[in-house]
Amino acid sequence: MTWGWRKILSIRNAVRPSFWSIIRSGKQTNVWSDNWCHLSPLRSFITPRHIANAGFNLQATVAEVIDENGQWKWPQAWYDVYPVLIGLTVNQQDPQLADRMVWKDVEGHDQHFSSLEVWHTLRTRDTPVKWASMVWFSQCIPRHSFHLWLVIKNKLKTQDRLAVWEVGSETNRRLMCCPLCKHGTDSRDHLFFVCGFASQVWSNIRMLVDLENVNDSWTSIAVWMERYSDSKRFKHIVCKLAISASSYYIWQERNNRLFTSKECTAEQVTEKIKNIVRLRLMGFVYKGDLDYQRTLTKWQNLCRASDEDPG
């Protein structure tokens, strides 16, 4: 059996309670093992031995256990053994129609089957973290957001984390140093933005947005993110774009230097960030907003000025 099928089959127990049959003729629904009434599956309390002794087989459908008078065919004695069955009424709506399958959501409502409904039912739920809207917001740049999410969770493969995994020999580890400033091993807190190179880029960007109170330390950025994560104000959205773009391009520069011979100056990295933020701003739907017009003009002038100044 392939890996894919094994994975699909392994979630059977998780999805089974959500598959429900709406009985119309009862001919497509297994009376013992399918979900079709409030006692389902009946097999959870009626033993296979009792089923066989009463003359039924395990493949019987709901229709097959209803007699011509519309009563259950099972023996009277079952009502003494399983008194819950007394409350189970026959509800065969239309002998001509096929039963209908539905998906029961977490609240117990019948839904049309869709991958979205299944995901809502199966996914684990947690209380949202304070910085969630810092990473994912409608104007975000998805690849920057994904990167920032890794930064916040401290999951980037920085040198301090590689050292913990005992990667390479002792000598290799001692040779590891931040490719941007060549001082010490790199780490999340070093790269964003204490590192000499990163701090230069960050201070170029910081003065273009409303982040004067934020310094080079990751703690300071984390405090800002928690405070303004949910803000819908235009100036805060620009700050969010600037933070995620800065961390994205600094990380890209770090990797370029580590794995290729390409090297950019702090000014060149700053330009990349300015350009991507400007392009994103141009696609906004804030068009009538004065604040928006002013900011966009400022960013366009910034980029124009640097285009004209090749140095």
> Contact residues for Zn ion (CB under 5 A)?
178, 180-181, 195
- The CA-based angle 71-72-77, given to 5 degrees, is 125
- Spatial neighbors of 92 by CB under 8 A, at least 6 apart, are 23, 24, 25, 26, 62, 63, 66, 70
Q: In terms of CB distance, is 137 or 202 closer to Zn ion?
A: 202
| Residue reference for tokens 């969010």 | 240
Least distance to Zn ion, CB of residue 252, Å: 15
**Enclosing H/E stretch for 227:** helix 218-228
Determine the distance from the C-alpha atom of residue 9 to the mean position of all C-alpha atoms in its chain, rounded to a whole number. Answer: 23
Distance CA 71, CA 78 (A): 14
- Tokens in use for 243? 């933070």
CB closer to Zn ion, 187 vs 295: 187
Report yes or no: 253 and 264 within 8 Å, Cβ to Cβ. Answer: yes
The nearer residue to Zn ion, 151 or 180, going by C-beta atoms, is 180
Q: In angstroms, give the least distance from the CB of 181 to Zn ion.
A: 3
- Min CB(171)–Zn ion separation in Å: 21
Name the residue nearer to Zn ion (CB basis): 51 or 176: 176
CB of 202 to Zn ion, least distance (A): 12
Nearer to Zn ion, 81 or 177 (CB): 177
The values of phi and psi at residue 101, to 5°, are -90, 135
CB of 257 to Zn ion, least distance (A): 10
The residue among 64 and 189 lying less far from Zn ion, judged by its C-beta, is 189
Residue with Cβ nearer Zn ion (181 or 303): 181
Q: Closest Cα to residue 90, out of 18, 31, 28, 47?
A: 31
User: Least distance from C-beta 7 to Zn ion, angstroms?
Assistant: 42
Spatial separation of the C-alpha atoms in residues 150 and 188, rounded to whole Å: 10
Min dist CB 182 to Zn ion, Å, is 7
Q: What is the spatial distance between Cα 304 and Cα 10, in angstroms, rounded to a whole number?
A: 57
- Compute CA 4 distance to the chain's CA centroid, rounded to the nearest angstrom: 21
Cα 222 to Cα 217: distance, rounded to the nearest angstrom: 9
